[in-house]
Structure 1
Amino acid sequence: MMKYVGVWMMTLCVVRLNGTFSNVAFQKPATMSSVFDANTIPSRGVDGNTYLCTVTNYGDMEPWWMVDLHGYFHIHDVIITNYDYLNWWRYLHSFTIDVFTENPIGCARATPVQCYNRTDTLGPSETVQFKCRSPVIGRFVRVKKWKMVDPYDPLTLCEVQVLGTKATAPTFKDSTTITSSWDYYGVDLC
């Protein structure tokens, strides 16, 4: 005899617009400045499931979340889905979407190019498509809050989709004059 046990729901968000852009962030490695608990880990932001979300910890006064696209892409748009749990949706406000060619964690020369700056709050479960001012080439996409109401104002993201097309890796003209971190750390952080 078969018995109904339950349903596990997942929403897969891989987007194609006119057959040219795709979600290049889906299931790519993500990290964040802090983690609220074991259920709000960074990978929740790129898992295709809008019901499980990332949340930074209370007291993190410079919260951010970042995805490594594992390649260089022309980034045209970033789609963000907000939380809808109690009043937690109100925490997604005052943030920038920045794009880097180099990992800003451990690479002092990594310089962001701002894709978008949002000042007001996204609504509960609201999904917004942010268009970069112009296509930006990059590998790392970071969402960072720039205004905190108080220490109990975490960064919350339920899904981040990065729409782009493959690009060639940028070249750095001054790479011969900058000392590599490989000699110091045993790994090249840039």
Structure 2
Amino acid sequence: MILVGDSSVNGGKFNPRCATISSLDPGRTESFFCGSMNGRFVTVIIPEKKKFLTFCEVQVFGKLAPFLPHGLPKFIKDLDRPFGINIALGKSSYQSSTFHLLGSSDKAIDGNEISDFYKNSCTHTNNDFEPWWMVDLTSEFIVDTIMIIPRGDRCVEMTAKYEIRIGYSKENNGKSNPRCGDSARISPGQKHIFKCDGMQGRFITVTMPEVKEFLSLCEVEVFGKQITSSG
């Protein structure tokens, strides 16, 4: 089956169906028409069976959804928050290290707030000194609010201190940029809001200062507005 939609939950297997492939000979190329379906994620699965799945190529053809006045794709409207549009969603991200393939840095900006690492929704660094995670907003923004959700499953028991930095420099992995608000101690899985009060920058860094620790974030959402050139 081929599924198309905006959700990455469970590998996108809850998204609407584009096509059912009754059979496909080895090495054969086949095309499937999805009509006017919209979505960010395309999933191919073999349903209800335990099987190996191997592809040599998957190509997807279409066009970008219409843009809203603030320049974000239309599908993001369903991921609006009380503070506005999440401007970090789907941007480029980095982290101090990657403990496991499931814990890649992009998991913090996939729109999925599930705080269980084992549901493929959270980042995970190694046991680093002052571990960090960074998102590149790709242009200049005035940032008002940042929300983070640390890992909250059974493997995490203690609260931890987190700090957010905002600015234009990637030096020291963004940790030399100005700090947004105060450091905060956050319980596992708890959503926490940092008020940044109009700070400006392109790079957002989340770090755990002055400790050697794992950093695992299940969502980071950034709210603000883009700085536009006057000339």
What TM-score does the superposition give when structure 1 sets the normalisation length? 0.70
Within 1, Cα distance between the matches of 2:141 and 2:173? 21
Give the corresponding residue for 1:115.
180
1:102 and 2:162 are equivalent in the alignment: no
Cα distance in 2 for partners of 1:84, 1:106 equals 25
Structure 1: segments with no counterpart, 5+ residues: 1-6, 170-190
Q: Which has the higher contact order (CA 8 A, sep 6+)?
A: 1
Alignment partner, residue 103 of structure 2? 40
Distance, in Å, in 2 between the alignment partners of 1:89 and 1:160 is 20
- SS at the partner of 1:8? helix
- What is the RMSD of the two structures over their aligned residues, measured on CA atoms? 2.8
8 Å CA contact 1:89, 1:124 repeated in 2: yes
- Does 2:14 match 1:14? no
SS for the counterpart of 2:111 is coil
Q: TM-score, normalised by structure 2?
A: 0.58
1:54 deviates by 0.7
- Quick one: distance in 1 between partners of 2:190 and 2:184? 15
The reply to whether residue 70 of structure 1 matches residue 70 of structure 2 is: no
Aligned counterpart, 1:159: 219
Against the structure 1 CA distance between its residues 129 and 56, is the aligned structure 2 distance closer, same or farther, given a 3 Å change threshold?
Answer: same
